[in-house]
């Protein structure tokens, strides 16, 4: 089958989570992604826990990409990057605003080399506004967008702000970035015009907070005022996370047919959360899930990562694949999650070693001679 993004080449200058997850998705949809790192490597390579000197985080964020090292503080490194731009479609970077200008690789400079380039700048606060120069990470985006406050209130009115467990302030914005890059490519296909795509973590996390924001802008009530006036909006019925005899389950029975089915099961006219919790506590998670599923009540076990990889639903959906890594051996990783009937996405291989594809890229794409490559290595332009 054909790859949806086959023929698209992406130069990936990004690091940590935000940018690499964006380009990972594009790679799994068939684009050729060249991950360009400084000679000392992306610091994500050292994210704990290290196993055989490899970081699981780096591995899963860079699956299938080609690896190249390039010292962009050296004029020769900048020249090589521009040569790659000429034969590529997309540039992705997530440096602090102003960094690419200092390197001589701003959008305006890159556009001179490739007029129809799609140039995606991913940053904490975007390229404009008073906060633009500030550094940022996922928790900063979650804080300023209201997400951390709302997550904390979910645990109780006096609970402190709470961050996400898996860097949602990076991963959510990365989805917007990937979607926006593909949209820009489609626009270019129709018009021949490239463009600068400015993706802000704070803006995109705010977009995910649109409903709570509207609760305030439409009603004029704060979260505290709204919860006092409409207390049942915090959780109608008996939904939530409930403790079973051997773990936890999530049940969402907010009313209607679901509550009628549970009332009949418990032989009660009106089911309270306390009564349902008592029923749940006497049964295993599997028993509860089986019973609720038969009643057509939304339910799932609360799984740990070691349980997730054994789950029959995910296995049936081919959500795990094995890749062969040169030092880690066979590694099970999460597959591309969306199913396409004609152009399926998938994991194409392990993450690259540092500078693994230097010679391949320089010889096959840019036609450098072996002695020229060796000289670049001696000068510290590549590893």
Provide the 10 A C-beta neighbour count for residue 231: 10
Helix axes 168-191, 18-28, angle to 10 degrees: 50
Give the N- to C-terminal CA distance of the chain in Å, as an integer: 36
> Which phi and psi (to 5°) does residue 200 adopt?
-105, 130
Separation of alpha carbons 343 and 320, rounded Å:
18
> Which phi and psi (to 5°) does residue 12 adopt?
-105, 105
Residues 6+ apart with CB under 8 A from 225: none
Measure Cα distances from 46 to 54, 134, 279, 335, 352 in Å.
7, 24, 47, 23, 14
Separation of alpha carbons 96 and 1, rounded Å:
39
CA angle 375, 381, 382 (to 5 degrees): 85
> Contact, 28 vs 337, CB < 8 A?
no
Q: Which residues are known to be catalytic?
A: 170
Separation of alpha carbons 119 and 104, rounded Å:
14
> Contact, 55 vs 328, CB < 8 A?
no
């Amino acid at each position: 089958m054909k790859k949806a993004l086959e023929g698209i080449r992406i130069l990936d200058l990004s690091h940590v989570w935000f940018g690499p997850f964006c380009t990972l998705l594009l790679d799994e949809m068939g684009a050729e992604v060249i991950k360009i790192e400084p000679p000392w490597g992306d610091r994500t390579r050292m994210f704990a826990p290290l196993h055989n000197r490899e970081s699981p985080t780096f591995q899963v964020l860079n699956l299938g990409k080609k690896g190249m090292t390039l010292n962009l503080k050296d004029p020769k490194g900048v020249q090589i990057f521009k040569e790659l731009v000429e034969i590529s479609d997309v540039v992705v970077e997530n440096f602090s605003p102003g960094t690419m200008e200092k390197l001589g690789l701003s959008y305006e400079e890159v556009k001179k080399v490739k007029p129809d380039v799609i140039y995606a700048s991913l940053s904490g606060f975007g390229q404009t506004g008073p906060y633009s120069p500030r550094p940022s990470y996922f928790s900063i985006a979650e804080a300023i967008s209201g997400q951390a406050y709302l997550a904390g209130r979910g645990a109780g009115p006096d609970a402190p702000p709470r961050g996400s467990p898996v860097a949602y302030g990076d991963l959510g914005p990365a989805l917007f970035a990937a979607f926006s890059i593909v949209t820009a490519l489609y626009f270019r296909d129709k018009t021949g015009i490239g463009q600068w795509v400015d993706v802000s973590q704070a803006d995109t996390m705010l977009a995910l907070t649109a409903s709570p924001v509207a609760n305030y802008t439409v009603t004029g009530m704060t979260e505290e005022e709204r919860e006092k006036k409409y207390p049942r909006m915090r959780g109608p019925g008996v939904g939530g996370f409930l403790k079973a005899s051997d773990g936890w389950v999530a049940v969402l029975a907010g009313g209607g047919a679901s509550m009628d089915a549970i009332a009949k099961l418990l032989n009660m006219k009106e089911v309270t959360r306390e009564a349902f919790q008592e029923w749940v506590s006497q049964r295993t998670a599997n028993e509860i899930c089986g019973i609720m599923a038969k009643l057509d009540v939304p339910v799932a076990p609360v799984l740990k990562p070691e349980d997730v990889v054994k789950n029959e639903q995910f296995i049936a959906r081919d959500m795990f694949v094995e890749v062969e890594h040169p030092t880690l051996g066979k590694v099970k990783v999460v597959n591309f999650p969306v199913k396409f009937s004609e152009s399926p996405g998938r994991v194409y291989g392990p993450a690259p070693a540092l500078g693994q594809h230097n010679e391949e890229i320089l010889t096959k794409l840019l036609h450098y001679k072996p002695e020229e490559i060796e000289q670049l290595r001696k000068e510290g332009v590549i590893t």
